[in-house]
Chains A and B, each alone.
Chain A
Amino acid sequence: MLGFDLYRPRTLQEALKLLAEFKGSARVLAGGTDLLISLRAREREDVKNIIDITSLRVLDFIQEDDSRLRLGPLTAHAQIADSPHIRQGAGLLAAAAAAIGSPQIRNRGTIGGNVVNAAVCADTVPPLVALGASVKLERMEECRWLPLEEFITGPNRTRLEADEMLTEIAFAKLTATAGWGFTRLARREAMAIARMNVAVVLERDSRGRVVTARIAPGAVLASPARIPQAENILLGQCPDEALIHQAGQAVATAMTASGSRWSTPYKEPAIIALTERAIKQALEVEWR
């Protein structure tokens, strides 16, 4: 049976105060696309208080300055997918947000929720990692920033303290010369959780050599990370088919090195293909 008290704070300060007060028996409700389901399934009987922040519009923003993009945690996936700022400065994030669930879920689900829920298959996480995003965590009269890779420590596990709230996600915009790729595999066309995804950002010099490579797969490692072994294969090179394949293999190797699961025999060959395709997208090479 659903038994909890619902609070609707009018200011961020009020919300942080409630969090401090409840010491871990509270959960923040943003889009509710994960929380409400786990409550209904009686998986979160430790949650006695729900702090509904949906009316805190100060947490719903997309801001762009000369070099950076800043997102409020309440920004819905649909807003991210449609935002010209994000499509321009972080196209892979827009592509990832557009691939989530269904229109209803994209309208309700938020990027803050996606990050804090920290599912291994979260679609926005690999792009944010590839973009080098950091998250702002606030508590009463205190705030700190953490790189996203440090923030998420494992499947559904983060460094968020009981009295903290995620209040901003920020990263450097991609330069005009950067290329990006985002690939995703699911069991059906839409409304399907990603089995794996890969985000890639590449920058090349005027001679076509890769000078920056960031490759971040999702649902491959227990917690999100870039794969330097794969990136190093491309760095300083003009990637060809063989090199791209090597990079894909490096991601697969990193996955198998992290442990073997029931799905590994399938995921190993498939992640190679997904990585290759994401790299080719970033290089703007026809991959079909």
Chain B
Amino acid sequence: MHTVNRPVRRVDALGKVLGESRYGADLRFEGMLYGKVLRTPFPYARILNIDTARALALPGVEAVLTAADIPGLHTFGTVIPNQQVLAKEVVRYHGDGVALVAAATPALAQQALDLIRVQYQELAGIFDPAQAMAEGAPLLHADSPGNIAAHHVLEKGEVEEGFARSDIILEREYETQLVEHAYIEPEVAVAVPQAGHRGVTVYGSIQNPFSCRKALSRILGLKLNEIRVIQSFMGGSFGGKDEIMSALCARAALLALKTGKPVQMVNTREESIREGYKRHPYKLRYKVGATREGKLMAMEIKIIADAGAYASQTPFVTWRSVVQATGPYVVPHVRTNIYGVYTNNCYTGAFRGFGSPQIIFAQESLLDELAEELGMEPLELRRLNGFRQGSVTATGQKLDNHQVSLMEVLDKAVEKSDYLAKRRQYAAQSGRFRKGIGLACSFRGCSLGAEGVDATGAMVSVQYDGSVYVYSGLAENGQGLQTIFSQIAAEELGISLERVRFMETDTALIPDGGPTVASRSTLMGGNAVRLAAAKVRETLLGAALEKLRAAAEELAWGGDRIWVKADPSRSISFEEAVNAACAKGELLTQLGWYKAPRVSWDDRHGQGDAYFTYVYGCQVAEVEVDMETGYTRVLKITAAHDVGRAINPETVRGQIYGGVAQGLGYALLEEMQQHEGEIKSLNFDEYLIPGICDMPEIEAIIVENPDGYGPYGAKTIGEPTLEVTAPAIASAVAQATGRRLRQLPLDLERVLLGRSLQKERYKRREGGC
């Protein structure tokens, strides 16, 4: 391999570093208007009347729209399409929009919003999922009894029998918080009416151009081929620019089609945080039974996830949770029930991890607590129960089609971090500053699994001068996809990376390949690029054979040349091969399409081969706690992740560093404050994410066990890096302080007092530090 498995520079780095890359907010079109949305002041209310007359009368205002002006349906959504692009009769959360304005300047648009009069009848909101589930609770969506947005069950073995045969039973409750993606670029959309025929072109910070197009088609009443979605450069997404972008693009498109002019909409940070979906807060009750020797016998799990006002990705997020809730451990008897519940809180959806950070925090904390009860080293408990080749998961899937590397990542992280020696060293400490070390591990299903259809495409097009385009249905969201895809195309064609130009994702130019989610890009999209490039290579090979007068098996490729193995002086350049093929009228553009291997799922029992392959990861955290203030500093994270094969080791390390940073925030700092449906931390002065000074030393260990399905054996890295950091830190803090905290984040108050004070703050309506 000459390009793959090498730390080449990111192909998009230079433009971004030089500030030349154009983001959605940089786009300008002639006659462009600026759009703004008016949001509800109440989390739950009936709309009685909307008076737009005064806004419309303001000079410079070109359109004021409400749900009544929507030509198609006013709702959309991937699984249960109940999210409102503009609220029609009822607003269900504090981020719902009720009216749109397009004006000549952003200031005029803002001024016009202030002139819209809306009469509401406030309704009694439900802000606690337990209340929403209670009998007799009013229904927030008429078609969802019990306010249940999703319910997944998993039954394996005989859980009662498992507990009966256990020597020790532990019951614990854990809780995770509402978390913001905190991408650097707030959402932006620009909609441009198509000249000469019906339709609209939309640009913007769009994570999933095809999901966006589908929503627009439904809302605008247009055919798919009348909507063209082109992704702009992205300032981060982390799963967060899906539904909120569909809504923003639809709003911009409504205004553009109404006025016949381009319309740009840019969210402020406050708007972005207020409207944007978040990571689900979970309440998790775990009951575990084990033998005296530490063999896990049974687990019974009940989880309640706050879905907020709309379904969004809740059915899928909670499905991943139900599959992975027992962690990478053999548990013969399992019963899991997980509920996603509607409330009038900010809706929750996709966020890096996708239902895994919550359950891993619970299950890894639980394993530590069980180890303590058993008088065992947590590492030994994991070695005793952890997945090995041929182990059977809670869903009944036998892990035998890939390298089950849990023990390998565990051993490597433990060895590199000097875990055991430090664990002993920190066991007995006194004084104001105390250190602790802890570990956590996970297994993770790659790509979509049994969520649904899993296939994607890419196009490789070689031009007659030897330059190459790569088009992909999956999108660059900052994760490095275009570098990985370019590397794969260059590898297959035996050419230098500089020849390859990755094109922005454009729904008019490439088939719908599903969303850019679930850490599926390298695995799924990488295969599609490889297939496409391999087809072009076949054609070029045919042309080369004639030129070199040799048989296919006699030829070698690489470094922009093709030569005869036995006599390297008999060679032609890549350009010569291209010219020869063109002269014969051959097609040098090919589409690659990759369909995921078979998976299976039985909904009633939660059994089946949920994902076609898995990755394994382990992180060790070392912390120092100020026992008098609760201030916790992470000193080091040692992260070992099996990626199958690193297409680019440097971008893998980048994913690990970024995931650890996000995981550190999840562990110690981040908690979106929401009181009675109102988001309180609307900007980064109140919502604190880690800064560079908070970052510990990170030792990234890349483990490579090539997978049979992945391109060059590559699997997944995006999400696993984040999901184990918080439990590892929590475990280290527990060692340092001697107190196990079961709620995230471990902020100053929780570490010092064992409880949060934030709820009190909003109850008392007090601000400040």
Residues of A within 8 A of B (CB): 1-2, 41, 120-121, 155, 185, 187-196, 219, 261-263, 265-266, 269-270, 272-274, 288
Contact = CB atoms under 8 A, between A and B. Distances in A.
B690 interface: yes
B107 A1 contact: yes
Interface stretch (B168-176, B244-252, B584-592, B760-768): B760-768
A135 B750 CA distance: 40
A188 B629 contact: no
Contacts of B421: none
B630 A270 contact: yes
Contacts of A196: 769
Contact of A192 (B110, B688, B763): B688
A263 B757 contact: yes
A195 B685 CA distance: 13
Nearest to A42: B110
Given A196-B769, A288-B432, A270 B628 contact: yes
Contacts of B107: 1-2
Given A41-B270, A192-B688, 4 more contacts: A187-B747, A263-B766, A266-B752, A269-B752
B453 interface: no
A40 to B, nearest CB: 9
Nearest to A192: B688
A190 B766 contact: no
A196 B693 CA distance: 20
B694 A189 contact: yes
A89 to B, nearest CB: 28
Contacts of A194: 769
A1 B432 CA distance: 50
B752 A191 contact: no
A263 B752 contact: no
Contact of A120 (B691, B752, B764, B769): B769
B753 to A, nearest CB: 6
Contact of B757 (A1, A41, A266, A272): A266
A188 B769 contact: no
A189 B691 contact: yes
8 contacts: A1-B107, A188-B688, A190-B691, A190-B693, A195-B769, A262-B757, A269-B628, A270-B748
A270 B107 CA distance: 45
Given A265-B757, A270-B752, A155 B768 contact: yes
B766 A261 contact: yes
Contact of B669 (A188, A262, A265, A274): A188
Given A270-B630, A288-B432, A193 B685 contact: yes
Nearest to B109: A1
Interface string B727-769: 0000000000000000000011100110001101101101011
B753 A266 contact: yes
B769 A121 contact: yes
B469 interface: no
A252 to B, nearest CB: 12
Contacts of A41: 270
Interface of B: 107, 110-111, 270, 432-433, 626, 628-631, 633, 669, 685, 688, 690-694, 747-749, 752-753, 757-758, 760-761, 763-764, 766, 768-769
Contacts of A195: 748, 769
Contacts of A272: 628
Contact of A265 (B110, B753, B764): B753
A26 B164 CA distance: 76
A187 B691 contact: no
Nearest to A191: B691
A120 B669 contact: no
A185 B110 CA distance: 39
A1 B111 contact: yes
Contacts of B692: 190
A2 B432 CA distance: 49
Contacts of B757: 262-263, 265-266
A39 to B, nearest CB: 13
Given A1-B111, A192-B688, A263 B629 contact: no
A155 B111 CA distance: 32
A262 B766 contact: yes
Contacts of B752: 266, 269-270
A262 B760 contact: yes
A280 to B, nearest CB: 11
Given A1-B107, A187-B748, A189-B693, A273 B669 contact: no
Contacts of B633: 189
B282 to A, nearest CB: 23
Contact of A185 (B629, B685, B688, B763): B629
B617 to A, nearest CB: 26
Contact of A266 (B432, B669, B748, B768): B748
Nearest to A196: B769
A1 to B, nearest CB: 5
Given A1-B107, A194-B769, A195-B769, A188 B432 contact: no
Nearest to B665: A188
Contacts of A269: 628, 752
B693 A185 contact: no
A196 B270 CA distance: 27
Contacts of A266: 630, 748-749, 752-753, 757
| For the complex of A and B, 8 pairs with smallest distance between CB atoms | A273-B628, A189-B693, A262-B761, A190-B693, A262-B760, A195-B769, A266-B749, A270-B629
A274 B748 CA distance: 14
Contact of B769 (A263, A265, A274): A263
Which of B694, B764, B769 is most buried by chain A, counting CB atoms within 10 A of its CB? B769
A274 B749 CA distance: 15
A121 to B, nearest CB: 5
A188 B691 contact: yes
B54 to A, nearest CB: 16
A4 to B, nearest CB: 13
Contacts of B631: 185
Contacts of B769: 120-121, 193-196, 219, 263
B37 to A, nearest CB: 16
A262 B628 contact: no
A205 to B, nearest CB: 30
Nearest to B762: A262
A188 B633 CA distance: 9
Contacts of A262: 757-758, 760-761, 763-764, 766
A261 B761 CA distance: 8
Contacts of B694: 188-190
Contact of B768 (A121, A187, A270): A121
B753 A187 contact: no
Contacts of B685: 193
Nearest to B759: A262
Contacts of A155: 768
Nearest to B757: A262
A188 B747 contact: no
Contacts of B630: 266, 270
Contacts of B766: 261-263
Contacts of B270: 41
Contact of A273 (B629, B691, B693, B758): B629
Nearest to B629: A270
A192 B766 CA distance: 19
Contacts of B626: 273
Which of B629, B630, B753 gathers the greatest number of chain A CB atoms within 10 Å? B629
Contacts of A185: 629, 631, 748
A188 B107 CA distance: 36
Contacts of B747: 187
A236 B747 CA distance: 39
A2 B752 CA distance: 43
Nearest to B113: A1
Contacts of B629: 185, 270, 273-274
A185 B752 CA distance: 13
A185 B630 CA distance: 10
A79 B270 CA distance: 32
A263 B669 contact: no
Contacts of B110: 1
